[in-house]
Amino acid sequence: MALKIGQKAPDFTLPSTDGKMFRLSTGFAGKSCIIYFYPKDFTSGCTAEACEFRDEFEGFKDLDIAIVGISKDDIKTHLRFKKQYNLPFELLSDSRGKTCGAYDALIPLVRVPKRITYLLDKNHIIQAVHQDLFDGKGHITEMIAKVKKG
């Protein structure tokens, strides 16, 4: 079960592909954002989803909505993935799954991240959630629809 709309998003600090530690409350302070969790770099569904976010990045940027992706992959793997697919946003490594757990983004028993996307407002209150393991493109479509609705 995903976190609920209207709930304050949990703060977290994770290593980022920019070489720094990223903290939600300071990295995206006063900024709306999309946080998307995904199972694994270089898999077909995750690659398609990342590329969709890449292709829609300018539209989100024009609306002042930042994007960050999170999986349990290490930074070295994230850096290769980001470079190969020319991703204009940072990827964060949650190797222990603590942040994935806080966002209810882990598949029980196997502890692999679910494909789940959260849209947060500038106060980091959850405004939309989309959860579908097999439809990466649907996450982007849903977030665009929610943003356009206001």
Domain at 137, CATH number: 3.40.30.10
Binned at pLDDT 50, 70 and 90, residue 143 comes out as low
Q: How many domains does the chain have?
A: 1
Residue ranges making up the domain that contains 74: 13-149
Cβ proximity of 36 and 136 under 8 Å: no
pLDDT of residue 7: 96
51 noted as active-site residue: no
Q: How far is CA 32 from CA 46, 66, 75, 125, in A?
A: 23, 6, 24, 9
pLDDT averaged over every residue in the chain:
90
Lowest mean pLDDT among 33-37, 77-81, 88-92, 142-146: 142-146
Q: What mean pLDDT do residues 47-59 have?
A: 92
- 131/139: higher pLDDT: 131
Choice among 33, 46, 51, 100 that is catalytic: 46
pLDDT of residue 130: 85
